C-alpha cells in the first residue's frame, strides 16, 4: 500500500514512521520541511514539496491521511485537494474534528466522487511504540481500501482498530472517548490532591500510585503515566495549575445537552478546566464580595 500523510507533528510524524516500519510506502507533506527531511532520512519517507506534489506521487485510488488541526486548517486543505483528486480517491481525517464537520465534508466530497473517512485516533506520543487506537467511520468499501494502514498503525492487526459506523462515527466515538478521559483524569487529580492534603499521614504518592497499578480496579494507562511522573516529583511546584481543553470535552458536554442525557462527571471535569484557566476568577471575586456584604466576612486583597 502507498499513501500520503499531511501534517507530520507529534502524532502525524510518528504515524508515518510506524507505517514505514510496517512496510507501507508513505509520502509526507508538512508546512515545515525540516521534519519531512528528518523522517525521510531516518525511516524512508518519500518527501513532497506541496500537496499537489504528494498527489502526483500517488497512484489510484490515491489515499491521503490528514493529521491537521481541526477546523479551518483541515477544511482549507480538503478544498485545496479537491481539484487534484479523481473519482474513487480517499481522504482520511485523523485529527480531532467535530463529527458534524466530518458528516458535512463527507457529503461535499461525495459530490465530486471522492471517498471520505473519519478516523478517530488515540495513542498520543506513545503510539509509535505501542500502536494507536483507531475508530473509523465510513462506508465498507472505503474502509477496505485503508485497512492495511489501520492494521499497521494499530497495536496488532486484529486489535485496536474497528469500523465503528458511517461517516462521522469515527470522530463521534473519539469525542466521547475524550470526554470520558476528561472525567477519569479529573477523578485521579482530585483523589491525589486529597491524599497530598492529609499532611499528618505523610503519604508517599509515588508508592501508592505504583501500588494501585497492580490488581486495583482503578488501574489504567492514566495511572501508569501518573505513577511514572510521581517517581521523580511529588510536589509539582514547578507546574502552573492551568489545564487547557482541546475542544472535545466541550463537544461531549454539548452532545449530552442535545440528547438530554445527563453526563455530570464529564461536564464537571470540563468546568474544572475552565476554572484552572482563570475563567472562574471573576465569579470567585463576586462570591467574596457577597460574603463580606451580608456577613462582614474578611476579603483578601491582591495588593493592587
Distance between CA 48 and CA 7 in Å, rounded? 12
**If we measure between CA atoms, which residue out of 210, 239, 215 comes closest to residue 227?**
210
* DSSP codes, 204-267: -HHHHHHHHTTT-TT--HHHHHHHHHHHH-SS-TTS-S-----SHHHHHHHHHHHHT---HHHH
Strand partners, 26: 3
On whether the CB atoms of residues 118 and 107 are closer than 8 A, the answer is no
Distance between CA 210 and CA 223 in Å, rounded? 8
- Catalytic residues, by residue number, are 174, 181
Amino acid at each position: 500500500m502507498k499513501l500520503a500523510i499531511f501534517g507530520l507533528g507529534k502524532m502525524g510524524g510518528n504515524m508515518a514512521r510506524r507505517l514505514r516500519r510496517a512496510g507501507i510506502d508513505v509520502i509526507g507533506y508538512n508546512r515545515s520541511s525540516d521534519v519531512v527531511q528528518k523522517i525521510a532520512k531516518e525511516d524512508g519517507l518519500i518527501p513532497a514539496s506541496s500537496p499537489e506534489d504528494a498527489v502526483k506521487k500517488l497512484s489510484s485510488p490515491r489515499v491521503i491521511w490528514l493529521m491537521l488541526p481541526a477546523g479551518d486548517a483541515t477544511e482549507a486543505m480538503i478544498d485545496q485537494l479537491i481539484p487534484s483528486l479523481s473519482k474513487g480517491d480517499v481522504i482520511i481525517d485523523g485529527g480531532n474534528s467535530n463529527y458534524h464537520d466530518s458528516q458535512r465534508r463527507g457529503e461535499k466530497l461525495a459530490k465530486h466522487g471522492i471517498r471520505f473517512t473519519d478516523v478517530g485516533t488515540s495513542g498520543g506520543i506513545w503510539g509509535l511504540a505501542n500502536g494507536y487506537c483507531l475508530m473509523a467511520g465510513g462506508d465498507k468499501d472505503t474502509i477496505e481500501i485503508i485497512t492495511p494502514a489501520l492494521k499497521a498503525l494499530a497495536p496488532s492487526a486484529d486489535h485496536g482498530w474497528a469500523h465503528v459506523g458511517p461517516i462521522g462515527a469515527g470522530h463521534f466515538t473519539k469525542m466521547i472517548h475524550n470526554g470520558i478521559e476528561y472525567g477519569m483524569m479529573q477523578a485521579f487529580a482530585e483523589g491525589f490532591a486529597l491524599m497530598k492534603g492529609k499532611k499528618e499521614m505523610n503519604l508517599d504518592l509515588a508508592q501508592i500510585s505504583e501500588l494501585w497499578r497492580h490488581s486495583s480496579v482503578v488501574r489504567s494507562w492514566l495511572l501508569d503515566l501518573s505513577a511514572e511522573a510521581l517517581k521523580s516529583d511529588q510536589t509539582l511546584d514547578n507546574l502552573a495549575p492551568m489545564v487547557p481543553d482541546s475542544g472535545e470535552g466541550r463537544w461531549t458536554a454539548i452532545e449530552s445537552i442535545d440528547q438530554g442525557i445527563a453526563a455530570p462527571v464529564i461536564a464537571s471535569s470540563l468546568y474544572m478546566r475552565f476554572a484552572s484557566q482563570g475563567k472562574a476568577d471573576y465569579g470567585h471575586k463576586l462570591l467574596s464580595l457577597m460574603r463580606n456584604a451580608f456577613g462582614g466576612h474578611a476579603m483578601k486583597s491582591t495588593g493592587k
